[in-house]
């Protein structure tokens, strides 16, 4: 009986403090690994295409696309690092040690928070472009967009250190047994995280988009009405087709963000330790948003589809391809 009990442990020689091996049935484990590996691959591939497109083609070096590039980098890291580590953490014993566990948890906080920050910045950019287009070139420039992106990543890096300070000082403090990688969140810190990374961003995003939607609809009606030459001229200044399309894309992006993030934060209100099957589902749904974002770009941005054709057909390797018009 003792041998059988030991065989169920991650570390059989640590009988009193070893975790038990995950109890997932082999068919469930295979299905989970297959689905999440596919999602990880698609996330990495699509976001890499966005990174190459915006970085290579000079035509795409706009403030909005700089923000999209930053979001693509965070989503790329989710697919490359976070999803594979989460699959391993959920389906196998953690043999990588407490330090790697703390590093993984820090990357989760840093990358995910940076992704949320990027979505907020994109919302602000679209708000200014639609609601105050005459001052957009002076208020939002490529240099300012790059500065905002750097501040976003730096701020969330420091926030991750604050969020993980106890675990960084004492790695493994959150683990109930050896062979586990978990993060127990203090009630006060968890409440602060809920406010800073969900309530506040969602409020800002929704308020800005409602304003963008109202202005975009009114401008579209003004263009269609053609009441007077003066009103038409004003509408030409205030309305750009690309901006309206970007506003619609932002709306889809926000809906996807809410659908993927709401279950995670709602679950975090009632459960502290994310180790159950339900927790695994909401965590993967949380990460799935990084796969949806580039799909949304492919559906709504013609330049992205054209850039993909240039990349896949290796036209970007030709001299002067960075000057191609998409």
Section 168-194 average pLDDT = 85
**Other residues' Cβ atoms within 10 Å of the Cβ of residue 309:** 10
DSSP 176: S
Q: In the chain, what percentage of residues exceed pLDDT 90?
A: 32
pLDDT at 194: 85
pLDDT of 307 higher than 70: yes
Asked whether the CA dihedral 273, 278, 280, 282 is positive or negative, the reply is negative
pLDDT at residue 230 is higher than 80 = no
Cα–Cα distances in Å, from 189 out to 60, 163, 184, 286? 39, 7, 10, 20
Average pLDDT over residues 292-309: 82
292's tokens:
């949806």
Instruction: Report whether 273 contacts 184 (CB < 8 A).
Output: yes
Helix extents (H) in 164-228: 165-169, 187-194, 200-225
List of long-range contacts for 13-16, beta carbons under 8 Å, 24+ apart: 14/178
Mean pLDDT (whole number) for 287-291 = 90
With a cut of 50, say whether residue 45 has pLDDT above it: yes
Dihedral pair phi/psi, residue 141, rounded to 5°: -120, 170
Give residue limits of the domains in the chain: 29-323
- Asked if the model's pLDDT at residue 293 lies above 80, the reply is yes
Does 215 or 224 have the greater pLDDT score? 215
Cα 224 to chain centroid distance, Å, stands at 37
> What is d(CA 268, CA 194) in angstroms, rounded to the nearest whole number?
9
* The predicted structure's pLDDT at residue 2: 44
Stretch among 27-36, 145-154, 168-177 having the lowest mean pLDDT: 27-36
Q: What is the CB neighbour count within 10 angstroms for residue 171?
A: 18
Percent pLDDT > 70 in the chain is 84
Per-residue pLDDT tens over the stretch 236-274: 444 456 656 666 777 787 788 888 888 887 777 766 555
Q: What is the mean pLDDT of the chain?
A: 83
Q: How many residues does the chain have?
A: 326
Residue 66 banded pLDDT, cuts 50, 70, 90? very high
Angle of helix 63-77 relative to helix 277-300, nearest 10 degrees, comes to 150
More reliable by pLDDT, 212 or 46: 46
Does the pLDDT value for residue 231 go beyond 50? Answer: no
* pLDDT for 142 beyond 50: yes
pTM: 0.87
Cα 279 → chain centroid: 19
* Of 68-82, 161-175, 273-287, the least confident: 273-287
Q: Sorting pLDDT into bands at 50, 70 and 90, what band is 227?
A: very low
Q: Average pLDDT of 307-320?
A: 88
More confident site: 235 or 20: 20
Any bridge partners for residue 18, and if so which? 178
Residues 205-214: pLDDT tens digits? 889 888 887 8
What span, in angstroms and rounded, lies between the C-alpha atoms of 175 and 309?
Answer: 48
Q: Helix-strand-coil percent breakdown of the chain, rounded to 5? A: 80, 0, 20
pLDDT surpassing 70 at residue 147: yes
The answer on pLDDT for 218 being more than 50 is: yes
Cβ atoms within 10 A of the Cβ of 316, count?
Answer: 16
What is the CATH architecture of 29-323? Up-down Bundle (1.20)
pLDDT of residue 189: 82
Reference 286, options 61, 83, 87, 41; nearest CA is 83
Which range in 67-76, 270-279, 291-300 is most confidently predicted, on average pLDDT?
67-76
Please state, as a whole number, how many other Cβ atoms lie within 10 Å of the Cβ of residue 294.
26
Q: Is 208 helix (H, G, I), strand (E, B) or coil?
A: helix
């Amino acid at each position: 009986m003792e041998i059988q009990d030991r065989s169920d442990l991650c570390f059989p020689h640590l009988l009193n403090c070893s975790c038990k091996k995950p109890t997932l049935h082999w068919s469930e484990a295979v299905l989970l690994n297959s689905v999440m590996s596919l999602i990880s691959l698609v996330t990495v591939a699509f976001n890499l295409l966005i990174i190459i497109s915006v970085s290579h083609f000079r035509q795409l070096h706009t403030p909005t696309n700089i923000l999209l590039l930053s979001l693509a980098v965070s989503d790329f890291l989710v697919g490359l690092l976070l999803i594979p580590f989460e699959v391993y953490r959920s389906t196998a014993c953690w043999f990588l040690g407490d330090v790697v566990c703390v590093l993984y948890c820090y990357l989760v906080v840093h990358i995910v928070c940076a992704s949320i920050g990027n979505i907020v910045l994109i919302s602000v950019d679209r708000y200014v472009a639609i609601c105050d287009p005459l001052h957009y070139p002076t208020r939002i420039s490529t240099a300012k967009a790059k500065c905002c992106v750097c501040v976003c990543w730096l701020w969330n890096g420091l926030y991750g250190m604050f969020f993980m300070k106890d675990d960084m000082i004492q790695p493994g403090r959150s683990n109930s047994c050896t062979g586990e990688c978990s993060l127990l969140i203090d009630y006060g810190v968890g409440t602060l995280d809920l406010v800073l990374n969900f309530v506040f961003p969602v409020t800002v995003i929704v308020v800005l988009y409602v304003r963008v939607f109202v202005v975009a609809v009114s401008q579209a009606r003004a263009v269609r009405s053609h009441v007077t030459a003066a009103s038409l001229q004003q509408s030409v200044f205030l309305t750009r087709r690309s901006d309206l399309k970007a506003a619609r894309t932002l709306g889809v992006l926000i809906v996807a963000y809410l659908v993927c993030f709401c279950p995670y934060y709602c679950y975090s209100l009632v459960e502290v330790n994310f180790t159950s099957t339900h927790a695994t589902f909401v965590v993967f749904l949380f990460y799935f948003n990084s796969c949806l974002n580039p799909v949304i770009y492919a559906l709504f941005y013609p330049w992205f589809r054209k850039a993909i054709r240039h990349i896949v057909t290796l036209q970007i390797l030709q001299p002067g391809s960075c000057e191609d018009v998409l």
